[in-house]
Amino acid sequence: MGHSGLNQIEKKAAFSLAAVFGLRMLGLFMILPVFAIYGEQLIGFSPIWVGLAIGAYGLTQALLQIPMGILSDKFGRKPVILGGLCIFLVGSIIAAMSETIYGVVVGRALQGMGAIASAVLALAADLTREEQRPKVMATIGMFIGLSFTLAMVAGPIVAESFGLSGLFWFTALLTIAAIFMIQFMVPFSVNKAPRGDNVALPEQLSHLIRHPQLFRLNLGVFILHMALTACFVTLPKQFVQAGLALEDHWQLYLPALLGSFFLMVPFMIFAIRKQKEKSMFAAAVLLLSVSLLFFWYLPSTLMTLSFLVVLFFTAFNYLEATMPSLLSRIAPAGQKGSVMGVYSSSQFIGAFTGGLLGGAIAANFGESMIFLVMSCFGLLWFIAATGMKSLQKSKSYSFSTTITCEQQADEIAEQLVLLPGVVEATLVHTEAVAYLKVDDKVADLANIKALLKP
């Protein structure tokens, strides 16, 4: 399967695209730990509008994520990514210049319209060999996690020094840096990865939405990000009321997030080694729900809040890190792009719903009720998670093939699934490509390649 490590193009693609993704997500996340407090200075302030400002980007992201991926297939990855970053830049500037909360909502919605995630991931796939692609995707995922941690720390510091508008101007500067990186550092695409495995195809979406196992994960990521954005409608205020000044919030977020990473890693290793992934996944969902319940039930002392933040982010980070892996293993062969499209849209709709619902609950029932309602949603997710099937160990591969006849493709597909270690095989004769899910410890890749090029 080629060299064991990344080549120069793959290394450059991995770190430059991960940095672009991270810079953009940093700009989106930095508002979370500060807006509930600084938003009070804006004309038109109300809890509902605060929730909308926090979650507005999620709605436009969800609506445009799949279309932007399809456009990148037609017009090229870089032009679509650069266009999306320019829209994101305009949204950041509008938010920075707004003195009303309505202007900030418009700016945040425009930020979401720069929905480049699917195009960035597709470009990463174009620039990497199949066997090296997981390393590149893992690098991008690591930078997203790092950007969230950095945003929780940097948001309060930047807002304290430069105000809310300064935070959005800082986001605009990060976006300009990302534009330069795409133009001058990211390699131009040197090969075209198979379409269905990396970009969402509209004709596959309705079937995948109804898939029982995928539905559980899509519901899960919806609830996870709904809970996150809803909690940040009130959480910064809780810290201030407990005696922690806003400019000192990073002193809580940094150790809490680092602590949550250290706590989740042993559980991930245990789940993989002992093949307890389903059990540990359900346990993490339960931990998320219980931590939210305790936010509502226990007195809001600084010590209690600090402990619960660690519990919440241990569960959050575990789920955020493991769900894409579970998703890729459940995804039908050759449909990973469409599966990820539905998953990403569910995530962003969750973020929008969380902001809107959190603001509505705070306005009508009090801010502490946000935690109770989100805990109930978490329990629904736990019930759904316990119904998940145990997963087979497998990796997804795509191969070129010389088969261009439908009858021959059907015959070869039947032969492939009889080979040891082949879980699933799909041949798309019109594109001369084969998608396989295999247990690579058992499967003989040489035999597979020989069958695909008769």
* CB-based contact 156:250 (threshold 8 Å): yes
In angstroms, how far is CA 54 from the centroid of its own chain? 17
Looking at the chain, which residues constitute the CATH 1.20.1250.20 domain(s)? Answer: 1-190, 207-391
CB 384 within 8 A of CB 213: no
Cβ-Cβ contacts under 8 Å for 77 (sequence gap 6 or more): 119, 120, 122, 123, 126, 189
CA distances for 293 relative to 308, 363, 369, 373, 385, angstroms: 10, 20, 10, 9, 19
* C-beta atoms surrounding 269 within 10 Å: 10
What pTM was estimated for this model as a whole?
A: 0.84
CATH number of the domain at 395-452, out of 3.30.70.100, 3.40.50.150, 3.40.50.261, 2.40.30.10? 3.30.70.100
How far apart are alpha carbons 142 and 147 in whole angstroms?
9
What token pair was written down for 307?
């402990």
Which tens digits make up the pLDDT trace of 31-87? 999 999 998 889 999 999 999 999 999 999 989 888 888 888 778 888 989 999 999
Do 199 and 65 contact (CB within 8 A), yes or no?
no
Q: Give the pLDDT score at 130.
A: 63
pLDDT number for residue 104: 95
Quick one: which of 434, 396, 393 has its CA closest to 413?
434
- Output the CATH code of domain 1-190: 1.20.1250.20
How distant is the alpha carbon of residue 71 from its chain centre? 20
**Cα 230 from Cα 380, distance rounded (Å):** 17
How far is it, in rounded angstroms, from Cα 195 to Cα 100? 43
Q: What is the DSSP string of 8-71?
A: HHHHHHHHHHHHHHHHHHHHHHTTTTTHHHHGGGSBT--HHHHHHHHHHHHHHHHHHHHHHHHH
pLDDT recorded at residue 1? 39
DSSP-derived 3-state class of residue 395: strand
Residue range(s) in the chain whose domain bears CATH number 3.30.70.100: 395-452
Pairwise CA distance, residues 334 & 388, whole Å? 22
Cα 136 from Cα 113, distance rounded (Å)? 25
Confidence at residue 226, expressed as pLDDT on a 0 to 100 scale: 96
Q: For 232, which DSSP code?
A: T
Q: Which residues of the chain have pLDDT under 50?
A: 1-3, 190-191
CATH superfamily of 207-391: MFS general substrate transporter like domains (1.20.1250.20)
